[in-house]
Amino acid sequence: MALAGLGLTAALAVSGCSANYWPDFSPEPEVTAEGSAPEQTGLAPVPVTEAQTQTIIDRVAAAAAKGDESLSVDELTSRFKGDALAQRTANYKIRSEVPEYGSVPAKITNEMLGYRLVQSTEVWPRTMFVTVASEAGTDADGNATDAPSLALILTQRAPQVDFRVSRVISLRGGLDMPKAAPAEEGTALLSDDIESLVLKPADVGASYAAILQGGAEVPEAAPFDLTDDPLLDHYGKAWAADAKAKSDAEEKTQKYSVSVAQGEEPIVSFSTGAGGALIATTVVESQVVDSDGGRYKPQAEGAVSALSGLTGQQDKIVRNVAHQLLFFVPNKEDGSKIQLLGVTSELVGAGK
């Protein structure tokens, strides 16, 4: 079984941001130092102005452009970390060895789209949420790729240290971002075990992982709005079922299974300041193809070979797909369900 086409980035149409829900920013003074904070009064200072944010995004976009052009991770390390870095690291490695690989990360631009949440704090680390436009590119066949709006999660770990992007999430088209307080008012990062939301942040990724693995009928699906979910038809349980059906049609005896679990990158939960929270998390899906003792063995080739070093027939092949996810989780009293606002999926590992 040639395992092609299963690690495609989930490019999810253009712009989930409605102007009706963008914060109304007031003009900010021009600044030059990325790490410095404006002098403010009040209990919850906002340490990053809109002008500073633009400078940071300019530098992130420049680093991403250099890396995407040269397929060199070295261009990224000062501005990327965590799952955002892992995504591009794996993608660059695959495309360096398999030029025809069709999964290309969305091109990050420095065009901010107006939806911005900044953690109010006087200490470090400092985290913010910024939406930016992406630029349409071309795949290996010369076809135009989608240009979704992107949500970036950025953190500054210490004074005078660069903000780095930990997640890059493609926003779903046709969905409005939740109403949020103006960025100059700042927002809070919520603890993983806060209980005022429909689900605790610590449980959101794990519950969605259970849905991917077991399907929309599992008990964990109850608090989620799964209407037109972009992953359920192609990943998790659906992937295993589709792969087995194709194998059975060819009278092969291969066995397919999948497991999905919360990733290791920390969960980031922003209060919107207007009810509910934006929660960014990652789940990792392990797709397993096993010869099951038969003579039909899975083939290690293409992207799998690039990431694993394996070639040819194997008794078993495991592919690891990371799904970077953004949810809106309402307050309990709101009465509405959790909504998946965006996702970026990428093959990040393979082995046996």
Rounded CA gap, 27 and 50, in Å? 8
Torsion sign over Cα 123, 76, 4, 137: positive
Per-residue pLDDT at 4: 35
Per-residue pLDDT at 31: 32
Per-residue pLDDT at 295: 87
Rounded CA gap, 298 and 347, in Å? 17
> By the 8 A CB rule, do 197 and 176 touch?
no
Max Cα-Cα span within the chain: 72
pLDDT digits (tens, 9 = 90+) for 69-127: 999 999 999 999 999 999 999 999 999 999 999 899 999 999 999 899 999 999 999 99
Contacts of 9 (CB under 8 A, 6+ apart): 91, 103, 104, 105, 106, 170, 344, 345, 346
Residues in the chain: 352
> By the 8 A CB rule, do 15 and 171 touch?
yes
Torsion sign over Cα 186, 191, 192, 194: negative
Per-residue pLDDT at 139: 61
Rounded CA gap, 225 and 337, in Å? 6
> By the 8 A CB rule, do 268 and 189 touch?
yes
Q: Report residues of the chain scoring pLDDT below 50.
A: 1-43
The candidate with the shortest Cα–Cα distance to 93, out of 318, 351, 347, 345, is 347
Per-residue pLDDT at 339: 97
Per-residue pLDDT at 253: 85
The candidate with the shortest Cα–Cα distance to 303, out of 138, 136, 100, is 100
Torsion sign over Cα 351, 2, 237, 226: positive
